[in-house]
Structure 1
Amino acid sequence: MQILDANTQQNVSTASTLQIPRMLPLKQVMHYTALSSTTIYEMINEKSDRYDPTFPVQVKLSRGRVAWVESEVADWIKGKISARVH
């Protein structure tokens, strides 16, 4: 059993309140949006006819790895749902 002192308890409570954004790899963005990778990259390319300035831009995590912020993707999807014509 671990014994917690005041410092440990403070660190635990601080860590539990920290909100770290969740990052989504391309495959999950494709799954959630029902878009292909080609369409996604065209939507973030300002030179493309399919450019959509409202679509979230990826975050470069390392030399060969990018991801999207989950909350931004979710907000974009919610916006599309709200904008539909009934």
Structure 2
Amino acid sequence: MRFLKLQQVMDKTSLCRSSIYNLINTGKFPKNVTVMGKRKAWLESEIEDWMIERMQAAELD
């Protein structure tokens, strides 16, 4: 299990910061978690699961 910073999530998904937060607000992207204090991060496994779901949805279209 590994935590990803916002920039790492952006690099991995090719999404910009605003797209990520817009998707979070609509419940369509994993929420970040508080690692310590104000430090937030995403679980890499949740980001990868989201990417797999997107690929599977694209195959159905």
Same structural fold, with TM-score higher than 0.5 when normalized by the shorter chain: yes
Would you tell me which structure has more strand in proportion to its own residues? 2
Query: Which residue in 1 is equivalent to 2:39?
Result: 65
Name the CA distance, whole Å, in 1 between partners of 2:23 and 2:31: 9
Query: Which residue in 2 is equivalent to 1:74?
Result: 48
Residue 35 of structure 1 pairs with residue 15 of structure 2: yes
* TM-score (norm. length: structure 2): 0.85
Residues 20-77 of structure 1: CA deviation (Å, up to 9, x unaligned) = x2100000100111111111111112xxxxx2x2411100112221000000000000
Query: Which residue in 2 is equivalent to 1:26?
Result: 6
* TM-score (norm. length: structure 1): 0.63
Identity of aligned residues (%): 40
Letter in 2 for 1:84: A
Which segments of 5 or more consecutive residues in structure 2 lack a partner in the other structure? none
Q: Secondary structure at the match of 2:15?
A: coil
Would you tell me which structure has more helix in proportion to its own residues? 2
Q: Which runs of 4+ in 1 moved over 3 A?
A: none
Q: Select the structure with the greater relative contact order (CA < 8 A; seq sep ≥ 6).
A: 2
Name the CA distance, whole Å, in 1 between partners of 2:35 and 2:2: 12
